[in-house]
Structure 1
Amino acid sequence: MKLMDIYFSLKSDIDVVERRLHDEVHTPQRNLKKASTHLLKAGGKRIRPIFVLLAGKFGNYDVDRLTKVATALELIHSATLVHDDVIDDAALRRGTPTVKAEWGNRMAMYTGDFILARALVLISELPNVQFHQLLSKSIVSIVEGEIEQIRDFYNVDQNLRVYLRRIKRKTALLLAVSTTLGAIVADCKAETTRALERYGYFAGMAFQIIDDILDLTATSKKLGKPVGNDLRQGNLTLPVLYALEHSPERDVLRAHIHRDMTEAQAVEAIRIVKASGGLEYARQLADRYMEKCLRALEGLPQIEATRQLTAIAHFINERDH
């Protein structure tokens, strides 16, 4: 089963999400509307909405309620990306100029705030205290993770525990929330909801580790941004941390990683990381998370949604962009 087959099977509901995404960021403020729709027009995998919709298949599938949740979570994700691009001083995302590059830092920050606020307005239409408590706590953790990432830019002394906590907050948490809230809205059984939450969390951990591998190995055309972009911006990912610990050239690597890193130093640092075995180590860890992700599905009914979630897990682990 290919990812496009899953999109096609959910097409009518994903189309509802797409329309809602654009409707929710409508505003009479012309520049704010342009900036808010800019990232949405660039597309994306829409993994979070798909997770919400597929989780809903295990309970009472209410398309109106589920697409509201799916839309809100994609808006929250989009808001974090707009803010990330300011923090990272990123010029490109998904192959197109970022909101920050087009409108400047101040406009980008307000745009991210606006998108987040629109998500919260939409989600407030669902009267479920547990739902809102879970989402609010998750947003707090995501923000704390972003602050920690800023704190650790160019920090060559951070460890694996810090990295794993960071990617949990950066990526895994929102994917786990997607499957969990989809299950809650669909009134799934508690054990089903817990299994879907574990699936989303482990899929998210694998997803981010694969992202960090691709940042160093994929082409800039496929990435939609420069190769080694994270390293250049001081965001030290798992392959880099492994090289800092195990590479015979770790002292050279440490000397290259600093806020005034030149292009020549960045290129040499990437070479050292690739030669260190860090990419292979990261792949092994991603594989372990993916095994846990697939095990989370074993107790679920063997319906079409289970097979689709299995296919998505394999896509996450095997993708090249």
Structure 2
Amino acid sequence: MKLPKTYGYLKKDLDSIEKALYRSIQAEHPILREASTELVKAGGKRIRPIFVLLSSQLGDFHLEKVLKLAVSLELIHMATLVHDDVIDDATLRRGKPTIKHQYGNRVAIYTGDYLLARALEEVTSIKDPRLHQILSKAMVEVCIGEIEQMKDKFNIDQSIRNYLRRIKRKTALLIAISCQLGGLVAGLPKEHTNQLYRYGYYVGMSFQIIDDILDFTSTAKELGKPVGNDLIQGNITLPVLFAMEDRAFTERLQQAFQQKEMEKSEINELLTMLKRTNAIEKSYEWSNRYLQKALTSLANLPDEKAKQILKDIALYIGKRKY
């Protein structure tokens, strides 16, 4: 994530996390090493490491533990993206060819598995069973979320509750435990780690809603993938759920989904129809509600510099354009 200049003091620690991430994925097998290295080079917002870093600065900060935890969470996130691209038959990720597109499905699956294995190896060096339990339970939930998302593809008979449960597992959960575990390794009391979890959960929910809005309002260059990609993949997101309050949009969407493979003209027509509704505005309102809850969750945490930055990041997420 491109942080504002005021967060410059984080750069040194973030650079250390990035170097640790590179070291972690240097496999002996050349194909695994090459594929994993390309993933890291492709970049990303690194929001999970950032939240681990900031949360741990509210307590007794130990860089070595923070590095292990931040790398582990980012590797888990990267592994889910690799597997996602296989499921979605995606050719682009952040504007660059996916591992699946470059090496095929088998290598992509094994690369994702390798990243998960390395994540587990990294985190086991932290001798705290609470951390291992939280992380393993979260990974189970992430897997359930992936299955649920597959099951719901091209299914217009969905509720907002379905959507919220899905994005919790897809995005908010790993961000929530990044905050929680950052506080845990820093020795914060349970009350504070619970508050950090809530903050991360609310920020994660808002973050994914904004992602789903940008899928319709941004450009292909900014997204690194086609505009309306969620619709192309058959995924029903919050803006679509609100747009479906318009009967004409729902009928047109149902027709398009019956074909499974939509023409570009159909996607453009659906985008135009969606933007004529108030779906984007309503989705932003939901995102802002989650952000306000995130800010409230920070109220009783120690008044350290990191706390102010956590507030700033929440506000930044609500305004981001890519």
Residue identity matched to 1:136: S
1:199-278, aligned counterparts within 5 Å? 199-258=199-258, 259-278=260-279
Verify: 1:305 aligned to 2:306, yes or no.
yes
CA deviations over 1:137-156 (Å, ceiling 9, x no partner): 00000000000000000101
Q: Aligned partners of 1:7 and 1:318: how far apart in 2?
A: 17
Verify: 1:282 aligned to 2:283, yes or no.
yes
Residue identity matched to 1:145: G
In structure 1, the partner of 2:23 is 23
Verify: 1:156 aligned to 2:144, yes or no.
no
User: Are the equivalent residues in 2 in contact too, given 1:83–1:112 (CA < 8 A)?
Assistant: yes
Shift of 1:135: 0.3
CA deviations over 1:90-136 (Å, ceiling 9, x no partner): 11111111111111111111100000110000101011111111100
Q: Aligned partners of 2:51 and 2:25: how far apart in 1?
A: 22
Shift of 1:235: 1.0
Residue identity matched to 1:233: Q
In structure 2, the partner of 1:66 is 66
In structure 2, the partner of 1:113 is 113
Q: Aligned partners of 1:127 and 1:10: how far apart in 2?
A: 26
Q: Aligned partners of 1:56 and 1:27: how far apart in 2?
A: 29
In structure 1, the partner of 2:194 is 194
Q: Aligned partners of 2:245 and 2:184: how far apart in 1?
A: 43
In structure 2, the partner of 1:175 is 175
In structure 2, the partner of 1:57 is 57
Going from structure 1 to structure 2, the CA distance change for 1:173 and 1:153 (only over 3 Å counts) comes to same
User: Are the equivalent residues in 2 in contact too, given 1:175–1:201 (CA < 8 A)?
Assistant: yes
Shift of 1:230: 0.9
User: Are the equivalent residues in 1 in contact too, given 2:249–2:274 (CA < 8 A)?
Assistant: no
Shift of 1:250: 2.3
Shift of 1:260: 2.7
Same amino acid, percent of matched pairs: 50
User: Are the equivalent residues in 2 in contact too, given 1:24–1:118 (CA < 8 A)?
Assistant: yes
- For structure 2, list consecutive stretches of 5 or more residues without a partner in the other structure: none
Query: Could you say what secondary structure the match of 2:299 adopts?
Result: coil
Count of residues paired in the alignment:
320
Q: Aligned partners of 1:249 and 1:73: how far apart in 2?
A: 39
User: Are the equivalent residues in 2 in contact too, given 1:247–1:272 (CA < 8 A)?
Assistant: no
Residue identity matched to 1:4: P
1:90-129, aligned counterparts within 5 Å? 90-129=90-129
Q: Aligned partners of 1:13 and 1:33: how far apart in 2?
A: 24
Residue identity matched to 1:265: E
267-276 vs 108-117, greater mean Cα deviation: 267-276
User: Are the equivalent residues in 2 in contact too, given 1:253–1:272 (CA < 8 A)?
Assistant: no
Residue identity matched to 1:107: V
Going from structure 1 to structure 2, the CA distance change for 1:293 and 1:247 (only over 3 Å counts) comes to farther
In structure 1, the partner of 2:296 is 295
Residue identity matched to 2:150: I
Shift of 1:33: 0.7
- Taking structure 1 as the reference length, the TM-score comes to 0.97
Q: Aligned partners of 1:51 and 1:198: how far apart in 2?
A: 13
Residue identity matched to 2:283: A
Shift of 1:203: 0.2
257-266 vs 91-100, greater mean Cα deviation: 257-266
In structure 1, the partner of 2:321 is 320
Q: Aligned partners of 1:18 and 1:95: how far apart in 2?
A: 20
Residue identity matched to 2:37: T
Going from structure 1 to structure 2, the CA distance change for 1:156 and 1:273 (only over 3 Å counts) comes to same
Q: Aligned partners of 1:14 and 1:252: how far apart in 2?
A: 46
Shift of 1:49: 0.4
Verify: 1:3 aligned to 2:3, yes or no.
yes
Shift of 1:248: 4.0
162-171 vs 266-275, greater mean Cα deviation: 266-275
1:77-92, aligned counterparts within 5 Å? 77-92=77-92
Residue identity matched to 1:241: L
Q: Aligned partners of 2:277 and 2:130: how far apart in 1?
A: 46
CA deviations over 1:178-231 (Å, ceiling 9, x no partner): 000101101101221111111100000000000000011101111111101111
- For structure 1, list consecutive stretches of 5 or more residues without a partner in the other structure: none
In structure 2, the partner of 1:184 is 184
Shift of 1:4: 3.4
Q: CA RMSD in A?
A: 1.2
Q: Aligned partners of 1:59 and 1:53: how far apart in 2?
A: 11
Shift of 1:7: 5.0
Query: Could you say what secondary structure the match of 2:254 adopts?
Result: helix
User: Are the equivalent residues in 1 in contact too, given 2:25–2:33 (CA < 8 A)?
Assistant: yes
Residue identity matched to 1:164: L
Residue identity matched to 2:184: I
Query: Could you say what secondary structure the match of 2:4 adopts?
Result: helix
